[in-house]
Amino acid sequence: MPRPFVDLLEAARRRLPRLLFDYIDGGSYAEVTIRRNAADLDAIALRQRVLRGVEELSLSTPLFGHELSMPLLLAPVGFAGMYARRGEIQAARAAQAAGVPFCLSTLSICSLEEVAATVSAPVWLQVYLLRDRGFCADLIERAKAAKCAALIFTVDMTIPGARYRDLRSGMSGPGGARGAAMRAWQGVTRPAWLWDVQLRGGRLRFGNIPPGVVADTGFGGFANWFARNIDASLTWKDFTWLRERWSGTILVKGLLDRDDARAALAAGADGIIVSNHGGRQLDGAPSTVAALPAVVGEVGGRVPVLADGGVRSGLDILRLLALGADACLIGKAWAYALGAAGEAGVTELLQTLRAELAVAMALTGCTDVREASRELLAR
Ligand SMILES: Cc1cc2nc3c(=O)[nH]c(=O)nc-3n(C[C@H](O)[C@H](O)[C@H](O)COP(=O)(O)O)c2cc1C
């Protein structure tokens, strides 16, 4: 039987160096919003219904002209090629086999071209609007050449969230000899990971960022380049820059507020992803499940509304659908699964989520996932 979320999380904890596990697992400041995402989902009681003829269930979900095998996408997750060798490719393969989209982060280890050449399903590409607009314009052209299904414009990263766990773990501190020794020790005490990623994987770099863009192609150089390039001056007017270059689907990812949803629609977004970046940006922000109904109300069915944050089970997927999401995304869950067991781990996770969603549908009397509504919630 495929392992559930919590077992894959624990397996990732055992297999990954601490700095990588903590990078996936952690969030900003006191990690209040991470806990809220999960706790608020847990608090939603589903309405148990019986004897309603639930032998035939349909999980199939239409989205922007694509047919998803279930209402789920793999969210963009940076650095995934460090959790397992060529990690983005392994995850994209598992997503394709399960019939769900894979969203590639700009900050991936495997390049867009490498992923697109490996899977036949179109990749959904996450982009930032960076100060280096030349880089962004090139990436959009590359997305056209790779026949990406959609761009996901992340709007909640115009300033970095402070992640204290990363400072302590070795991910972003401490520097100097002490930091280097800490990182080396974490690597040697995780031999399976060390062999798979560091020794067999060759030199790791961010595949979407051409060497010409930054002078220093080491991780520190890229991190400094990214920090210099995220742009706190962005406004909704900048959406036009993106629209002029990409006529296909653009989803805006990372809003929680109904007024921002209205602005996104006015700017011309084709879809909205209600997200607090998995609690990695504004600590103290509401959980996504708490924010979702107001955004859904504001959007009023004009464009699809997706949501992520704290999804650990098929029950959580059904909870978000009941509150109005058209589909949801998982971030940490697939990153743990990849870190635990590569492609097989992500496949296991997707099988588990699908089976859990089916059971949750059957026991709430919901035979078609497209019809999930507030009727599924216990009052
Ligand atoms: C390790 C990690 C890296 C992430 N990197 C990105 C990224 O590069 N771009 C982005 O838009 N979101 C990124 N996210 C946020 C996810 O896309 C998603 O919004 C979030 O993980 C959802 O919450 P969950 O982790 O509770 O499922 C990242 C999340 C994690 C856990």
**pTM of structure:** 0.98
Atom of ligand 1 nearest to the CA of 34: 26
Residue 287 near residue 276 (C-beta atoms within 8 A) = yes
Q: Whose CA is nearest to atom 3 of ligand 1?
A: 77
Atom of ligand 1 nearest to the CA of 276: 19
Residue 364 near residue 376 (C-beta atoms within 8 A) = yes
Distance 317 CA to ligand 1 centre (A): 17
Atom of ligand 1 nearest to the CA of 152: 11
Inside any domain, residue 280? yes
Catalytic: 277?
A: yes
Determine the pLDDT at residue 47.
Answer: 98
Inside any domain, residue 11? yes
CA distance 222 to 108: 12
Inside any domain, residue 81? yes
Alpha helices in the chain (DSSP H): 5-15, 18-25, 32-42, 87-98, 112-118, 133-145, 164-169, 176-188, 191-193, 219-229, 239-245, 258-267, 288-299, 314-322, 332-364
Q: Which protein residues touch ligand 1 with a CB less than 6 Å away?
A: 23-24, 37, 75-78, 105, 107, 126, 154, 253, 275, 277-278, 308-311, 330-333, 335
Determine the pLDDT at residue 223.
Answer: 81
Inside any domain, residue 165? yes
Inside any domain, residue 100? yes
Inside any domain, residue 253? yes
Inside any domain, residue 343? yes
Determine the pLDDT at residue 9.
Answer: 98
> Taking the chain (379 residues) in consecutive chunks of 10 residues, what is each chunk's mean pLDDT?
97 98 98 98 98 98 98 98 98 98 97 98 98 97 98 96 92 89 96 96 89 80 89 97 98 98 98 98 98 98 98 98 98 98 98 98 98 97
Domain limits for position 245? 5-45+64-359
> CATH number of the domain that 320 lies in?
3.20.20.70
Distance 362 CA to ligand 1 centre (A): 30
DSSP string covering 273-303:
EE--GGGTS-TTPPPHHHHHHHHHHHHTTSS
Determine the pLDDT at residue 105.
Answer: 98
Determine the pLDDT at residue 41.
Answer: 98
Determine the pLDDT at residue 241.
Answer: 98
Give me the number of domains the chain comprises. Answer: 1
